[in-house]
Amino acid sequence: MTSFVKFEFTNSKFKQVLIPINKFEANQDDWYIGLMIKNRIETSNKNETITIKIHQNRLAALSVIYSMIYNKLVILKGADISLIKCISQEWSIPETIITEIDVKIQSQELIFICIICGVGYKKSENTKTSCQTHRDKQTVMTVNGPYFQCCGNKIDKPCCIGYHYSGSV
């Protein structure tokens, strides 16, 4: 007979999730929920369902629980990634998964469009040489190709170098 861990989500109308207890057997000693289950197993009857009340956001908390079961980052549809990170830190889940969360957050960063050069960029990657363009977009055609009127250079030698700017700070 399989026994279960019953997670009760106190702030959600979808209150309960049952997960077989054997899913929590491997490598579960180091995190908050794993330790809690272990302690409960020691103090309860073998085939009793263990109930754990969770007060955090349901989708984010469940994402962390499944990430621990499968030992890789699992993000349930609609779960907020920054909330997943907060709960993960609160529950002391392994650094390897926290790193996966950080990579995910980084990749979801907003893209801004530079009003100077028209290129899309991330604010975290914007440096003082990111934006490279010509002051004047007009070119003069010659036998060697187009030259920019502003500086007399070709397109690969921009005369305007600085930070991308989207109009907001």
Q: Which is nearer to Zn ion, 30 or 109 (CB)?
A: 109
Q: Which is nearer to Zn ion, 104 or 123 (CB)?
A: 123
Q: How many CB atoms lie within 10 A of CB 68?
A: 24
Tell me which H or E stretch contains 161: strand 160-162
Residues that bind Zn ion (CB under 5 A): 114, 116-117, 131, 134, 148, 150-151, 159, 164
Q: How far apart are CA 19 and CA 6, in angstroms?
A: 7
Block residue for tokens 């020691």: 42
Nearest distance from C-beta of residue 120 to Zn ion, angstroms? 9
Nearest distance from C-beta of residue 40 to Zn ion, angstroms? 57
DSSP strands (E only) in 40-126: 50-54, 112-113, 120-121
Instruction: Give the rounded distance of the alpha carbon of 43 from its chain centre.
Output: 37
Q: Which is nearer to Zn ion, 13 or 128 (CB)?
A: 128
Q: Which is nearer to Zn ion, 31 or 148 (CB)?
A: 148
Nearest distance from C-beta of residue 143 to Zn ion, angstroms? 20
Closest to 28 in 3D by CA, of 81, 88, 93: 93
Q: Is residue 84 a contact partner of residue 76, using CB atoms and an 8 Å limit?
A: no
Nearest distance from C-beta of residue 21 to Zn ion, angstroms? 55
